[in-house]
Amino acid sequence: MGGLDLVRRVAVAVLAAAVCGGLSTLAPASGKVGFAAAPRPAAKPEPKPEHAPPPKPPAPKPPPDCSRVKCVALTFDDGPAESTAELLDVLAARNVRATFFLVGENVVKHPELVRREHEAGHELGDHSYTHADLGNASEKKVLDQLTRTQDAIRRASGVTPVLLRPPYGSVSKRLTRITREMGLAQVLWTVDPLDWEHRDTRYVEKRVLKAVKPGYVVLMHDIHPTSVKAVPKIIDRLAAEGYAFVTVSELYGGKLVPGKEYGQTGRPMVHRDESGAAQGLP
Ligand SMILES: [Zn+2]
C-alpha cells in the first residue's frame, strides 16, 4: 500500500466519523435531517468548593387534582423482570409515573429494578411473595406472604408499600381484616386487557384504549415484553386525549383507607368469609 493511499483512507475515515457525530447531535424535536449546529463554546467549569453538598434533585411536580383533570393510573403486576427495564425507559422518556405491584420473590431477584422504580417516582405496591391466592389462604399464610414482601420491598427501595393488589383479585373478609391491620389498601382494577393471555401488542393497545375512562385503573404485566411494547402507544394516545398519568395513591387523592377495596375487576369478585367459603358468586 502506498503512503498516499493510506492518507486517503484515514481522511475518509475521519470524514465519516465527523458526519456520524454531527448527525447524532441533531435536536430530536426538529424531526428533520440537516447540518449540525456549530458546537457552543464550552462553559467554564465552576470551581468546586470542597465538601460541596450533592446537587438537589428537582422538586417533584405536584400531582394533578383528579377531581378536575382526566386522570388514569397505569399499573404493572408480577415484576420485576428483565422487561421491566425497558418499561422504565419508556415511562421516563414520557415523564409518566405508574404503579408497580411487586411479587416478593422477584423483588429479591431484581432489587436494582425496584430501586430504579422508586427513584423514578413510581409507586410500589405488594402483590404477595409467591403470587398466592390470598383470598383462599390461611391467616398464617397471608401474614407470611405479606410481611415477607413488605420487607423485601423495603430492603430494596427504602419504602414500605401502602397498597396491596391481591393476586387474581381474590379477596376475603380475613384478608380485609389483615390488610386493615397492616395499613394496606386493596387495589383491584377497572381495565383488564388480559395481556397475560393475549401476548399481542396491538391487541393490548386496542383493548386498553377502548376501555379507558377518567379515573380508571389499568392492569398490565411488565413481565411480558408484548405488553411493555404496547405502553408507548397507549401513553401517547391517552396524552393526546388530555389524560394525566398518576399513581394509584394520587388517583385517590392520597386518601386510601387500609383494608378497603378499590376498583372493580369487571367480573364477579370472589369474596370468602373467615371460614374460606365463597360468597357473592352467581
Ligand atoms: Zn399477578
The whole-number pLDDT of residue 65 equals 92
Q: Which domains does the chain have, with CATH numbers?
A: 71-279 (3.20.20.370)
pLDDT at 23 over 80: no
Ligand 1 centroid to Cα of residue 68, in Å, is: 31
**Which range is most confident: 4-13, 47-56, 143-152?**
143-152
For residue range 263-277, list pLDDT tens digits in order.
875 433 334 334 434
Q: Where in the sequence numbering do the catalytic residues fall?
A: 77, 221
Asked which of 16-25, 52-61, 168-177, 200-209 is least confident by mean pLDDT, the reply is 16-25
Asked which of 8-17, 176-185, 242-251 is least confident by mean pLDDT, the reply is 8-17
SS3 track for the chain: CCHHHHHHHHHHHHHHHHHHHHHHCCCCCCCCCCCCCCCCCCCCCCCCCCCCCCCCCCCCCCCCCCCCCCEEEEEEECCCCHHHHHHHHHHHHCCCCCEEEECHHHHHHCHHHHHHHHHCCCEEEECCCCCCCHHHCCHHHHHHHHHHHHHHHHHHHCCCCCEECCHHHCEEHHHHHHHHHHCCEEECCCECCCCCCCCCHHHHHHHHHHHCCCCEEEEEECCCHHHHCCHHHHHHHHHHCCCEECCHHHHCCCCCCCCCEECCCCCCCCEECCCCCEECCC
For residue range 92-132, list pLDDT tens digits in order.
999 999 999 999 999 999 999 999 999 999 999 999 999 99
Banded model confidence at residue 146, pLDDT cuts 50, 70, 90? very high
Ligand 1 centroid to Cα of residue 6, in Å, is: 62
Proportion of the chain above pLDDT 70, given as a percent: 72
Ligand 1 centroid to Cα of residue 31, in Å, is: 40
Model pTM score = 0.75
Summarize the confidence of residues 213-239 as an average pLDDT.
97
Distance CA 89, CA 98 (A): 12
